[in-house]
Amino acid sequence: QKPHFGLTGLAVMGQNLARNVAHNGFPIAVHNRTASKVDEFIADFGTEGTFVGAHSLKELVDALEAPRTILIMVKAGGPVDAVIDELVPLLSPGDTLIDGGNSLYTDTQRRNKDLTAKGLNFLGVGVSGGEEGALNGPSIMPGGQREAYDRVAPIFEAISAKVDGTPCVAYIGADGAGHYVKMVHNGIEYADMQLIAEAYDLLKNVCGLSNNELAKTFGEWNEGDLDSFLIEITTQIFQTKDTLTEGHLVDFVLDKAAQKGTGKWTSQNALDLGIPVTGITEAVFARCLSALKDERVAASTQLPGPVDVAFEGDKVAFVNDIRDALYCSKIVAYAQGIQLMDAAAAEFGWSLNRGEIATIWRGGCIIRARFLNRIKDAYDNNPELANLMLDPYFRDGLAARQAAWRRVVGEAVKLGVPVPAFASSLAYYDGYRRASLPANLIQAQRDLFGAHTYERTDREGTFHSSWGA
Ligand code: 6PG
């Protein structure tokens, strides 16, 4: 009998997903644009499961039993459209195309609409976990037609990561919802990485920790509340020796952070929806600033920092303060990301289940972390929770650590160490907990120079005044 499931795009993510599907007992037809890659793939991995090699998209479609499902694993953007355009005339009504790349959710919405009009289903599926996750269990965020997802759900549930026996996959919502949630996942990933980098800067340059001590410190942090994939790999990075020199490899890596756009999209959309996603946005900008290497090198001899200041506190205590500042700022990054998803749900008519999203991020994905269990609990306990920081567990955790958080930001400012994500997260916390902000003055200014009107605190209505004595 022919398989129902096929995959096109045998780059490393596609290869690993195809192998994962086969390992779980599902026969799969595989295709790649460069046809020789199909033969190589079958030669290398053919014994791992039931594969059918296809040398053209026509062969791929013919190799599948209807209703067919084809997972597209090609570069986001134009290449996805090109594959879809070539496949559409070959398909029959009821067939399903799945885009498993990091596509922009608006592209997914458009493709879903176009294909629906042609009688086809289209799922936009966020897949996280890198190469290793794709092979052994990723976190999967599917969006699109529910019925189409239900047909493919047994495969996704089988190949996904499992935490306490629960698969890290759940239907997210219609059209672009899966890719939207993956985008926010990546935004949080950016924030998390920037926060860890800021902690590294302080640990190294204020506390004077060596790479070996950094490995030990991150290793210890990974035993506690910060237990997560990103802290774990950070530990490994500080353990890695360079093969070309005597030193540690990390010290030879050029300090220019690259980006493919998912973090930027999160911030762009946050601006569109008016949601203060400051931690993620600072993380995106920090990558942009890092990329200005030549300018920074030139400025480093021209712009002075603080003069005659030194760290005077207890370094061991400060290391723990940095850990606490990281934990608090991380809560803020998740709180902001979830606020953004709430706003998107309202905007696009999705009903995003925040507890379920936290559940599927517990394993397989780049931001997997022990505290996602607590996020899930927070929304199980109160599905209406307005902000993650208000959940009693996180509220108390922030309260217990806020003094440390303030010491870290204060010390960094004093010493001239840039901590944009730590500082903006703390400012968000302080802004969110304020019943009154100085925005009354902004409203007064707007009304004075442009008659933009204002509301009053003591009576209903819209007012305009003539200002000045
Ligand atoms: C994942 C990652 C992955 C992403 C990389 C690189 O969830 O597995 O998010 O999808 O492509 O993290 O992203 P940048 O190149 O933008 O850092």
The ipTM value here is 0.97
DSSP structure string for 127-153: EESHHHHHHH--EEEEEE-HHHHHHHH
pLDDT beyond 90 at 161: yes
At 17, give phi and psi (nearest 5°): -65, -40
User: Mean pLDDT across the chain, nearest whole number?
Assistant: 98
Q: By residue range, what is the domain housing residue 377?
A: 182-432
State in Å, rounded, how far the first CA of the chain is from the last one: 87
Domain count, the chain: 3
pLDDT beyond 90 at 408: yes
CB burial of residue 124 (10 Å; 0-12, 13-18, 19+): buried
* Mean pLDDT, residues 268-285 taken together: 98
149 is in an annotated binding site: no
| Predicted pLDDT of residue 176 | 98
Provide the token pair at 99: 């885009």
Q: Are 319 and 417 part of one and the same domain?
A: yes
Q: Are 131 and 242 part of one and the same domain?
A: no
The predicted-structure confidence for 12-28, as pLDDT tens digits, reads as follows 999 999 999 999 999 99
Residues known to be catalytic: 182, 189
CB burial of residue 423 (10 Å; 0-12, 13-18, 19+): buried
Q: Are 159 and 194 part of one and the same domain?
A: no
Strand residue runs (E) in 87-201: 96-99, 121-128, 139-144, 162-163, 166-167
* Mean pLDDT, residues 288-296 taken together: 98
Q: Show which of 149, 175, 201 is a domain's final residue.
A: 175
Q: Are 343 and 457 part of one and the same domain?
A: no
The CATH number of the domain holding residue 283 is: 1.10.1040.10
Q: Can you tell me which atom of ligand 1 is nearest the CA of 262?
A: 16
pLDDT beyond 90 at 158: yes
The predicted-structure confidence for 234-271, as pLDDT tens digits, reads as follows 999 999 999 999 999 999 999 999 999 999 999 999 99
Q: Are 315 and 373 part of one and the same domain?
A: yes
Please list the residues that pair with 139 across neighbouring strands: 128
Please tell me the distance between residue 186's alpha carbon and the centre of ligand 1 in angstroms.
6
Q: Are 126 and 171 part of one and the same domain?
A: yes
Q: Are 417 and 274 part of one and the same domain?
A: yes
* Mean pLDDT, residues 172-177 taken together: 98
pLDDT beyond 90 at 423: yes
| Predicted pLDDT of residue 1 | 85
**Which of 13, 196, 260 has most ligand 1 atoms within 8 Å of its beta carbon, as the pocket-test mutant?**
260
d(CA 8, CA 19): 13
363 is in an annotated binding site: no
Q: Are 102 and 152 part of one and the same domain?
A: yes
The CATH number of the domain holding residue 32 is: 3.40.50.720
Please tell me the distance between residue 183's alpha carbon and the centre of ligand 1 in angstroms.
10
d(CA 98, CA 69): 7
Atom 7 of ligand 1: nearest residue by CA position: 128
452 is in an annotated binding site: yes
The CATH number of the domain holding residue 459 is: 1.20.5.320
Is 73 in contact with 17 (CB distance < 8 Å)?
Answer: yes
The predicted-structure confidence for 9-65, as pLDDT tens digits, reads as follows 999 999 999 999 999 999 999 999 999 999 999 999 999 999 999 999 999 999 999
Torsion angle of the four alpha carbons 381, 183, 154, 88, in this order, in degrees rounded to the nearest 10 = 150
Q: Can you tell me which atom of ligand 1 is nearest the CA of 287?
A: 17
pLDDT beyond 90 at 438: yes
129 is in an annotated binding site: yes
pLDDT beyond 90 at 428: yes
Is 263 in contact with 277 (CB distance < 8 Å)?
Answer: no
Q: Are 280 and 263 part of one and the same domain?
A: yes
| Predicted pLDDT of residue 12 | 97
* Ligand 1 pocket, residues with Cβ under 6 angstroms: 102, 128-130, 186, 189, 258-260, 262, 365-366
Atom 12 of ligand 1: nearest residue by CA position: 186
pLDDT over 90 percentage in the chain: 100
Q: Can you tell me which atom of ligand 1 is nearest the CA of 260?
A: 16
Q: Are 160 and 201 part of one and the same domain?
A: no
Atom 14 of ligand 1: nearest residue by CA position: 259
Helix (H) or strand (E) holding 339: helix 315-348
Q: Are 97 and 80 part of one and the same domain?
A: yes
Q: Show which of 115, 148, 175 is a domain's final residue.
A: 175
| Predicted pLDDT of residue 154 | 98
